[in-house]
Chains A and B, each alone.
Chain A
C-alpha cells in the first residue's frame, strides 16, 4: 500500500538557518504530494502541493519539488523564522487507485530558536 516516510524529529534550528525536511513515498499509482503544517493548538493547514513529476510547490518561502526518480518531496526554506515553529506533515493522495484519502507521514516537529 501507499506510505510516506519523513525524517525523524524533532528538528531545532537557529533563526535564519536553512531548512530541509526529507520526505519519501511509496505509491503504486500517480500520487499528488502535499506538505501540511500544524501550528500549536491548531488543525492542519495546506502549506504547498505538487500534482505531477517535476512540479515545484511553493508558499511562504517554503519549496518542495516532486521527484519521481527518487520518490521524494523534500521541504526546504532558505531562512527560517521563529514563526515557522510547527509540526510538518508530508502526505500523498494516489490517483490511480481512486484512493479518496490522504496518507500522512508521521510528522516532523520543527523548533526555531531566536
Chain B
C-alpha cells in the first residue's frame, strides 16, 4: 500500500531532550516536506526536500533540523525542544513537488507535547 508513515504518533518529552520524528514513504517520491499544525494558524511548512541531499527552509525552520540521506526517509530532528514546539506534525511527499501541481500525500501526524 502506498503510504507515508510517521513515528512515533504521540510523544511527550521534556525541554531540552533531543528527539527525532521519523518519516518514510514507499512511493519513490522525490519531494518531501514537514509541516506543523497549530490552532488558528493552519499548517506551516518547516523544511522541505526536493531530492536526496537537497533540503531547504520553509516558513518556520527555527529549532528544527532535517536530513535526507535516502530518498524514502526524511527525519525531523529537534535538538533542544521547547514548549513552543508543542504541536501536531505532518510529513508529506509528492513525486516532484507542488510546483507541478502534483498531489501531496500526508502522513497520519505526530502529536508532540514538550513539558
Residues of B within 8 A of A102 (CB): 43, 45, 98, 104
Q: Are B43 and A43 in contact (CB under 8 A)?
A: no
Q: Are A43 and B107 in contact (CB under 8 A)?
A: yes
Residues of B within 8 A of A32 (CB): 98, 101
Number of interface residues of B (CB under 8 A): 27
Q: Is A42's CB within 8 Å of the partner chain B?
A: yes
Q: Is A110's CB within 8 Å of the partner chain B?
A: no
* Bound: A93/B97 CA distance, A: 10
Q: Are A101 and B42 in contact (CB under 8 A)?
A: no
Interface residues on A, range: 20 to 34
* Bound: A99/B48 CA distance, A: 11
Chain B residue, CB-CB nearest to A101:
B45
Chain B proximity of A4: nearest CB distance (Å): 8
* Bound: A67/B67 CA distance, A: 39
Q: Are A93 and B43 in contact (CB under 8 A)?
A: no
Q: Is A89's CB within 8 Å of the partner chain B?
A: yes
Q: Is B103's CB within 8 Å of the partner chain A?
A: yes
Q: Is B41's CB within 8 Å of the partner chain A?
A: yes
Binds B, one of A13-21, A45-53, A73-81: A45-53
Q: Interface on B for A, CB 8 Å cutoff?
A: 4, 31, 33, 35, 40-45, 48, 50, 56, 58-59, 90, 92, 97-99, 101, 103-104, 106-109
Q: Write 22 A-B pairs (CB below 8 A) sorted by A numbering.
A: A4-B42, A32-B98, A42-B109, A44-B90, A44-B104, A44-B106, A46-B104, A49-B101, A49-B103, A93-B101, A95-B99, A99-B99, A100-B31, A100-B56, A101-B98, A102-B43, A102-B45, A102-B98, A104-B35, A104-B44, A106-B41, A106-B42
Q: Interface on A for B, CB 8 Å cutoff?
A: 4, 32, 41-46, 49, 51, 89, 91, 93, 95, 98-102, 104-107
If A43-B108, A107-B42 are given as contacts, then 14 extra A-B residue pairs at C-beta distance below 8 Å, sorted by A number, are: A32-B98, A43-B107, A44-B92, A44-B104, A51-B101, A89-B42, A89-B43, A100-B31, A100-B48, A101-B45, A101-B48, A101-B59, A105-B42, A106-B40
